[in-house]
Amino acid sequence: MATSQVETVSTTADKAKLGFAVLLVFAALAGFYLLSKQGQIAQWGILIAGLLAAVVVSALSEPGKQFVAFGRDSWREVKKVVWPARKEAIQMTAYVFAFVVVMALFLWLTDKTLEWVFYDLILGWKK
């Protein structure tokens, strides 16, 4: 029986960084709406700058570093995947569509057969 430990160590500094990142997001959104009279360039500039600052601040925290490492490892694993060739992908897609059509016909035929058995033969409702 394997047990895994989840390590949740968060310091006050990390909590402060994440809290500051959240405040930066809210400040960016508030700036976007408050600068509506200055024009779209000022609005979008403050929004993008605030969001980028929030990303940078959150990336400097330990959970942010772990998230970046997780993303890097995930990308490395995606590179290891052997993707099918175009011809193979088209063939497999055709097989799936053919199977769906066959199953749809089978279910329709089963439904109509049961309808005929119950309503026509047993109950005699359709005349």
Q: What pLDDT is attached to residue 40?
A: 92
Query: With bands split at pLDDT 50, 70 and 90, how would you rate the model's confidence at 125?
Result: confident
pTM score, whole prediction? 0.55
CB-CB contact of 54 with 24 (8 Å): yes
Average pLDDT, whole number, for the chain?
Answer: 90
Report d(CA 32, CA 36) in Å as an integer.
7
Please tell me the distance from the alpha carbon of residue 26 to that of residue 114, in angstroms, as a whole number. Answer: 60
Question: In this structure, how many other beta carbons lie within 10 angstroms of the beta carbon of residue 91?
Answer: 12
Contact call for residues 47 and 27 (beta carbons, < 8 A): no
**Average pLDDT of span 113-117:** 93
